[in-house]
A = this chain, B = another copy of it.
Amino acid sequence: MHILIIGAAGMVGRKLTAALVKAGRVAGRDISKLTLADMVQPERPAFSGAVETVAADLSAAGAAAKLVARRPDLIFHLAAIVSGEAEADFDKGYRINLDGTRFLLEAIRQEGLTSPYVPKLVFTSSIAVFGAPFPEAIGDEFFSTPLTSYGTQKAICELLLNDYSRRGFVDGIGIRLPTIVIRPGKPNLAASGFFSNILREPLAGQEAVLPVSKDVRHWFASPRAAVGFLIHAAELDTQKLGWRRTLSAPGLSTTVGEEIEALRRVAGERAVSLIREIPDEKIIRIVEGWARNFDTCRAAALGFKAETSFDEIIRIHIEDELGGKIGG
């Protein structure tokens, strides 16, 4: 099986690549080749099969067609610019997040016009397709009314994925990822960054800023769970989805206060003492519009699994990023 990962240099892309390399197979078939694409050339993993790394901008003319001409059996499309950037740069957001995905779908359709070709396509969508006001728990049939350009672009891609699948051009499945915690690496300026920062930094013995109230509730899964969703999606019989090809992944609905209590249990009082509460009105307002909880019956029935406690999310970070040891 030949797998193409678009957005392979990102955090989820790298972890997905590592998981596929480790397993050596997916959906009961051996992986013979990996094509890894991103805006910057992805790192080459140590893999026994063929590996090609490609620097490509999916929104550039012909880029999608070139990737698809290799006829991968399975495509993971993870590439996107983030919410903040899509809001700050309207043109770039629509170009990368909407046109890039549409060009990919269209390249697949065009490739199939020459001789039959219907690859499986796993697309990462986002809970940003939902915008307030919404019910306390967002169900599987709640409508998409995004309050960001990023969420709009993702919601449009979901519709395209459905239609291209229904028409038989691609075998698509979309997964709306929860907010991923604990993101490894340095603190970033994303409005959601603090959810990770207040755990990752204290676990490394560093101070972190909490800009919102401890009552704030949000929807989370670990990077390991996110990779699990994508591989499960790749292995899923999409007939079970009908023509509603995107679903909200399971996750954990937790308050910031509960996050901190989990940190206390796993890493002790000293770690918690490194969190500085410095309210930031701008971030408080942004976060007010975010989803708090989901009712993901559909994903659960289809076998998707996420963490059930924040202690588990913290332990996964310690295992996967810190070599099993708490620093500081």
- Say yes or no: A159-B144 contact (C-beta < 8 A), given A90-B167, A167-B90: yes
CA distance A109 to B166 in the complex (A): 33
Interface membership of A147, Cβ < 8 A: yes
Q: Nearest chain-B residue to A90 (Cβ)?
A: B167
Q: Which residues on B sit within 8 Å (CB–CB) of A243?
A: 131, 145, 147
- B144 and A141 form a contact (CB under 8 A): no
Beta-carbon contact of A155 and B159 below 8 Å: yes
Identify which of B141, B145, B160, B163 contacts A244 (C-beta below 8 A): B145
User: A162: CB under 8 A from chain B?
Assistant: yes
Which chain A residues (83-127) contact chain B, with CB distance < 8 Å?
90, 109
Task: List chain B residues, Cβ under 8 A from A244.
Answer: 145
- Nearest Cβ on chain B to A96's Cβ, whole angstroms: 15
Q: Can you tell how many copies of this chain the complex includes?
A: 2
Which residues of A in the span 150-208 have a Cβ within 8 Å of any Cβ on B? 152, 155-156, 159-160, 162-163, 166-167
Write out the residue numbers on chain B whose beta carbons fall within 8 Å of the beta carbon of A167: 90, 149
Q: How large is the interface on A (under 10, 10 to 19, 20 to 34, 35 or more residues)?
A: 20 to 34
A149/B163 in contact, CB under 8 A: yes
Residue of A143, A149, A159, A243 most packed against chain B (CB within 10 A): A159
Distance between A100 CB and nearest chain B CB, rounded to angstroms? 15
* Chain B positions within 8 Å of A143 at CB level: 141-144
Asked if A10 is at the interface of the complex by the 8 Å CB criterion, the answer is no
CA distance A269 to B109 in the complex (A): 53
Q: How far is the CA of A98 from the CA of B156 in the complex (A)?
A: 11
Q: CB distance B147 to A152 under 8 Å? A: no
Q: Do B147 and A144 have beta carbons less than 8 Å apart?
A: no
Closest CB-CB distance, A61 to chain B, in whole Å? 16
Q: A24 on the interface (CB 8 Å rule)?
A: no
CB of A146 within 8 A of chain B? yes
- Cα distance A131–B167 in the bound complex, in angstroms: 15
The minimal Cβ–Cβ distance linking A81 to chain B, given in whole angstroms, is 15
Q: In the bound complex, how far is the Cα of B166 from the Cα of A141, in angstroms?
A: 24
Question: Which of B90, B146, B160, B162 is close to A145, meaning CB atoms less than 8 Å apart?
Answer: B162
A161 to chain B, nearest CB (A): 10
Chain A 26-43 near chain B by CB (<8 Å), digits 1 or 0? 000000000000000000
Give the distance to chain B from A141, nearest Cβ to Cβ, in Å: 5
Which residues of B sit under 8 angstroms from A145, Cβ to Cβ? 162, 243-244
The one of B109, B141, B146, B166 in contact with A159, judged by C-beta atoms closer than 8 angstroms, is B146
Contact, CB under 8 Å: B131 / A146 = no
Say whether B156 contacts A159, CB under 8 Å: yes
CB<8 Å pairs between A and B, sample of 14: A90-B109, A141-B143, A143-B144, A144-B144, A145-B162, A145-B243, A145-B244, A146-B163, A149-B167, A152-B159, A152-B160, A152-B162, A156-B156, A159-B159
11 additional A-B residue pairs with CB within 8 Å, beyond A90-B109, A152-B163: A141-B143, A143-B143, A143-B144, A144-B144, A145-B243, A145-B244, A147-B166, A152-B160, A155-B159, A156-B156, A156-B160
